[in-house]
Protein backbone atom coordinates (compact mmCIF):
# COMPACT_ATOMS: atom_id res chain seq x y z
CA UNK A 1 0.00 0.00 0.00
CA UNK A 2 1.15 3.51 -0.76
CA UNK A 3 1.62 6.29 1.75
CA UNK A 4 -1.52 8.18 2.71
CA UNK A 5 -1.66 11.89 2.22
CA UNK A 6 -3.08 13.72 5.20
CA UNK A 7 -5.67 16.28 4.10
CA UNK A 8 -5.58 19.67 5.71
CA UNK A 9 -8.90 21.10 6.91
CA UNK A 10 -10.09 23.95 4.74
CA UNK A 11 -11.90 27.06 5.79
CA UNK A 12 -14.81 28.00 3.57
CA UNK A 13 -15.44 31.60 2.67
CA UNK A 14 -18.87 32.96 3.57
CA UNK A 15 -19.92 32.66 -0.08
CA UNK A 16 -18.73 29.04 -0.31
CA UNK A 17 -20.55 28.20 2.92
CA UNK A 18 -23.74 29.76 1.52
CA UNK A 19 -23.46 27.73 -1.66
CA UNK A 20 -22.96 24.55 0.35
CA UNK A 21 -25.97 25.37 2.54
CA UNK A 22 -28.42 26.54 -0.13
CA UNK A 23 -27.34 24.98 -3.41
CA UNK A 24 -29.89 22.57 -4.81
CA UNK A 25 -32.43 23.22 -2.07
CA UNK A 26 -35.87 24.69 -2.55
CA UNK A 27 -36.23 28.06 -0.82
CA UNK A 28 -39.51 28.92 0.87
CA UNK A 29 -40.28 32.57 1.64
CA UNK A 30 -41.69 31.85 5.11
CA UNK A 31 -42.01 29.17 7.76
CA UNK A 32 -45.71 28.61 7.14
CA UNK A 33 -45.15 27.52 3.54
CA UNK A 34 -42.12 25.42 4.49
CA UNK A 35 -44.05 23.58 7.21
CA UNK A 36 -46.99 23.08 4.84
CA UNK A 37 -44.64 21.55 2.25
CA UNK A 38 -43.13 19.34 4.94
CA UNK A 39 -46.56 17.89 5.77
CA UNK A 40 -47.09 17.04 2.10
CA UNK A 41 -43.86 15.02 1.87
CA UNK A 42 -43.39 11.40 2.78
CA UNK A 43 -42.38 11.05 6.39
CA UNK A 44 -38.67 10.85 7.00
CA UNK A 45 -37.53 10.63 10.59
CA UNK A 46 -35.93 13.87 11.70
CA UNK A 47 -37.02 15.96 8.70
CA UNK A 48 -37.74 19.56 9.60
CA UNK A 49 -38.18 23.04 8.20
CA UNK A 50 -35.49 25.52 9.20
CA UNK A 51 -34.60 29.14 8.59
CA UNK A 52 -31.38 29.56 6.60
CA UNK A 53 -28.86 31.90 8.17
CA UNK A 54 -27.39 32.72 4.75
CA UNK A 55 -30.34 33.46 2.46
CA UNK A 56 -32.97 34.25 5.11
CA UNK A 57 -35.41 31.84 3.47
CA UNK A 58 -36.64 28.47 4.70
CA UNK A 59 -35.44 25.03 3.60
CA UNK A 60 -36.38 21.44 4.39
CA UNK A 61 -33.70 19.19 5.80
CA UNK A 62 -32.89 16.41 8.22
CA UNK A 63 -32.18 17.47 11.77
CA UNK A 64 -28.58 17.08 12.91
CA UNK A 65 -29.99 15.67 16.17
CA UNK A 66 -32.05 12.95 14.45
CA UNK A 67 -31.11 9.42 15.60
Residue 39 backbone zone (phi > 0: left; psi -120 to 50: alpha; other: beta): alpha
What is the per-residue pLDDT for 59?
A: 92
Q: Which residues pair with 50 in a beta bridge?
A: 59
Q: Which residues pair with 49 in a beta bridge?
A: 60
How far apart CA 31 and CA 33 sit, in angstroms, is: 6
Band (pLDDT 50/70/90 cuts) for residue 65 is low
Dihedral sign from CA coordinates of 5, 11, 16, 19:
positive
What is the per-residue pLDDT for 46?
A: 78
pLDDT digits (tens, 9 = 90+) for 11-58: 778 778 777 778 888 999 999 999 999 887 777 677 889 998 888 899
Amino acid sequence: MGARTKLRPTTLSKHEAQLAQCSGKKRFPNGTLAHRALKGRRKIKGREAYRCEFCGGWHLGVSSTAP
